[in-house]
Structure 1
Amino acid sequence: MTHADDTLLSTKARTVQIHLVSGDPRGVRIFSRAGWDGYLLVIPRHCIDSQQQVTDELSRIGTVILRGPAGNGRARLRITHSVPAAAELGRFRKNPCWTDMYILGRERDYSRIVARQVALRLIQAARSTGVAEVEDTYPTPPKPVLAVVRHDVDSYTREALTFLTLSGLELFDAAPTKEIDTIEDTREETPPAATAVRASGEAPTPPAQDVHVGAEQLAEKAYYDEDMQLLLDLRYLKVGQQLRFRQPRRGLTHKATVEPDGALRFQGKRYSSPSGAAVAASGTSTNGWTAWHTTDGRALDDLRRTARKRKSTP
């Protein structure tokens, strides 16, 4: 791997956590670290039936890597994004040539665009070394992306390469990859409130150390007041109702209550949006709509979709 000063691998000192799901160091493992909302899930072939222990990670969008021998002394890789990550389990199970499955994901929302761009970066990084055969999972050229997405992809890929190296998958070139063209039309995943900004041809670029919060605020700003009030008006939520935000790997369950205007009160402080309260609880950028759940397990995002559909029905 490349060890130049401009390597994609992070050079900052940090502590990495490795969760041995079954207690076996050669079994299913989850790599993570404090201060980063991403993770790497590793599933060896002999543990493929242990998937019920990581259903949370498998149910999310993921950048998935399958590894196996190519038959000529080289490794073989298949790198793609999957919605959800569990969708690639069938391929892994059916084809015995694959020996290990790696899933890169996020505790908060990991958009399809970012997951796909990370996969493209890893494909390029793997092909640069020439030590592995990489399947062509994206035959069409990638579309350009917003600057904020590019920064997110850069940051995530840098961490992902570190975690992949720690897991023993050292088949990627750590040198900087070709920069992604900017400004992709992401209207499928971004509410209309954000499209007006994009129409000007200038995408907002938040501070590099916290690009996730900036992107979420842009997409959510015009929605949270109306949506939370809608949930109260249609009685999907009640004033004073308790919501929960679980972080199982950290062993934490955060609790918040719904205010009369739809704000959330967490640890005595009032937050005007679900994401604001979620960020305060987790200490990192978090999508509150998917993080906060009712006591019977329904995510705010599910309630919001149901409420919007009901409102739009004559």
Structure 2
Amino acid sequence: MSELQLRIADMSAEARDVVRLELVDVNGQDLPAFDPGAHVALKLPNGAVRQYSLLNDWRDRGRYVLGVGRVRGGRGGSESVHTELRPGMVLRCAVPVNHFALRPDATRYLFIAGGIGITPILSMIRWCSAMEKPWQLVYAARSRSRLAFYEDLVPYGERVHLHCDDEAGKALPVAQLMADAPRDADVYCCGPAPLMEAVRDSASPVPVASRHFEWFSAPASDSLSSTDGFWIDLRRSGQSLQVPPELSILEVLEKHGHEVPFSCREGVCGTCETGVCEGEVDHRDYVYSEAQREGLRSMLICVSRALSPRLVLDL
């Protein structure tokens, strides 16, 4: 992956268990452009590679601004950010990638965010405001102390609806929210899996194809079931390997000494995307929609499998 060398120019507490990072090029150069919804992959001091959404204005080429929520008992990425990073440190970073792109021609936009899921939504709101597009935001958190980037949202006034579970005495009423959503709206949702599952599964005039999601982790209800094994042929190395039902393609490659970039192992980040030369893929990721998968000649090898007896991979 193409790498940038970024210095932490500023670091501050944004809300309870949320830290704000401002990253700049070590040589003071402009950074690669990005579109609203994009994320970058950071190499952290503990060796982990984690993806974080860009929340600043897409026209701002001088910095990348991230928000990182602390996940206690997680896989160690957020803990490293909160305990090991300091202003002035230099981090390796991949160029921005966007699997949560905003449709620029939508009639109107309804943004639904939960907790740290506000980060990719913020860049989208900035774009909509600049382009004078009609939009509304519903932002939910467990308490007011966990409403990250509150000061950034205040200037937008009545376009922003804040929901705090402890003040309302209940979780965000997603079913009613989606039932009342305009049919011509495109819905963009990011946050905890239960929130996004509720938005995905709610009866609503908004078509399924107009509901867009950025998953931080795979839904628990969608745990993968075993299937028959299959074979993978590696075009560049000439090797053929069998993938048994209990192992992923990524795990099989690792067992045979292949080093493939990965991060989440859940099909939500896109880091392990690999080209497919031949064969039919059983896509099981949370990055690409059904419409995007049609004709796609790549796959996320941490979760996706084969519908055909063999796959030929560009490895």
> TM-score normalised to the size of structure 2?
0.32
Relative to its length, the structure with more strand (as a share) is 2
> TM-score normalised to the size of structure 1?
0.32
Relative to its length, the structure with more helix (as a share) is 1
